[in-house]
Amino acid sequence: GCDNPEELKLQQTLGRIKHKIVVMSGKGGVGKSTVATNIAVALSLAGKKVGLLDVDVHGPSLPRMLSLKGQKPHMGDRTMEPVPWSKNLSVMSLGFLLEDDRQAVIWRGPVKMGLIKQFVEDVMWGELDYLVVDCPPGTGDEPLSTLQTLGPTAMGVIVTTPQGVAIDDVRRSVSFVGEVGNRVLGIIENMSGFACPNCGTIHEIFKSGGGEALAKEAGVQFLGRIPLDPEVANSGDEGYPYLKVHRDTITGKALEQIIQPM
């Protein structure tokens, strides 16, 4: 309860954040971090105050994707300042605290769980319109701890690719979020068709639409599809989010569309 000073501190931090969006996926490699980053950037470009938190202990990728590698958050007495990316967007990642990113994989379960809590509790986010959280993949202890720490008002956004196997993972993720007592805001189908840089249209590769069909089946919103776009991969590798430079493309519009219901 609130007699506990740590619990009180957590509740105060959460009380200053209007919306909590937890970006999840059934497995790794579907573009969860890319989507989380671009959602955060899209919201910040729309004038919102945004925090982006990377609790993916398996391989924190946000520092690289945002050219913030090597940055160190200011540390206070049991507090940390998030690293600013722009006036409206500040970032915290386990990657900032590790000398060597690969160290992440040796962290034991209970340590990881405490860490997720600490990242929400001890980071001086201040007043935020949105906290976007890049959650570890799957439906194990880490996503559970993430949702429990953020509380029942945090909303899950599930990223999938169009293939059948990925869709089964999403079904599991949707029921997981419900079982924990949170709401799924919606499903995003990433790598859905190929955005051809030459002709500017989308070519289907895998059978698309699985994400949308599942959203309907599960009674949750379909937030949109993002095509496979070589520029998205380049931007991540080169350390700038896609939307920072490309807003007027098929992919850029798809990414900005996604934040409408948020």
Q: Which two tokens stand for residue 28?
A: 């790794």
Closest CB to ligand ADP among residues 32, 246: 32
- Distance, CA of 51 to CA of 81 (rounded, Å): 11
Question: Cα-flanking dihedrals φ and ψ of residue 98, to 5°?
Answer: -105, 135
Closest CB to ligand ADP among residues 25, 173: 25
Q: What is the DSSP letter of 29?
A: T
- Distance, CA of 242 to CA of 219 (rounded, Å): 30
Span 3-32, contacts to ligand ADP by CB under 6 A: 25, 28-32
Using CB under 6 A as the binding rule, whether residue 75 contacts ligand ADP is answered as no
Closest CB to ligand ADP among residues 13, 25: 25
Residues whose CB falls within 8 Å of the CB of residue 99, separated by 6 or more in sequence, listed in order = none
The one among 190, 214, 223, 256 contacting ligand ADP by CB under 6 A? 190
3-state SS assignment for residue 80: strand
Closest CB to ligand ADP among residues 61, 139: 61
- Residues annotated within the binding site for ATP are 26-33
Q: How far is the CB of 30 from ligand ADP (least distance, A)?
A: 4
Ranges of H-type helices in 181-241: 210-218, 230-238
Helix, strand and coil content of the chain, in percent to the nearest 5, comes to 40, 25, 35
Span 138-177, contacts to ligand ADP by CB under 6 A: none
Using CB under 6 A as the binding rule, whether residue 191 contacts ligand ADP is answered as yes
Q: How far is the CB of 161 from ligand ADP (least distance, A)?
A: 9
Q: How far is the CB of 188 from ligand ADP (least distance, A)?
A: 10
Q: How far is the CB of 231 from ligand ADP (least distance, A)?
A: 8
What's the CA dihedral at 117, 119, 120, 121 to 10 degrees? 80
Contact call for residues 189 and 26 (beta carbons, < 8 A): no
Using CB under 6 A as the binding rule, whether residue 229 contacts ligand ADP is answered as yes
Q: How far apart are the first and last CA of the chain?
A: 30
Using CB under 6 A as the binding rule, whether residue 236 contacts ligand ADP is answered as yes
Q: How far is the CB of 103 from ligand ADP (least distance, A)?
A: 18
Closest CB to ligand ADP among residues 120, 166: 166
Closest CB to ligand ADP among residues 107, 194: 194
Pairing of strands 183-195, 202-203: antiparallel
What's the CA dihedral at 148, 150, 156, 161 to 10 degrees? -80
Minimal CB distance residue for ligand ADP: 31
| Residues making contact with ligand ADP (CB under 6 A) | 25, 28-34, 61, 190-191, 226, 228-229, 232-233, 236
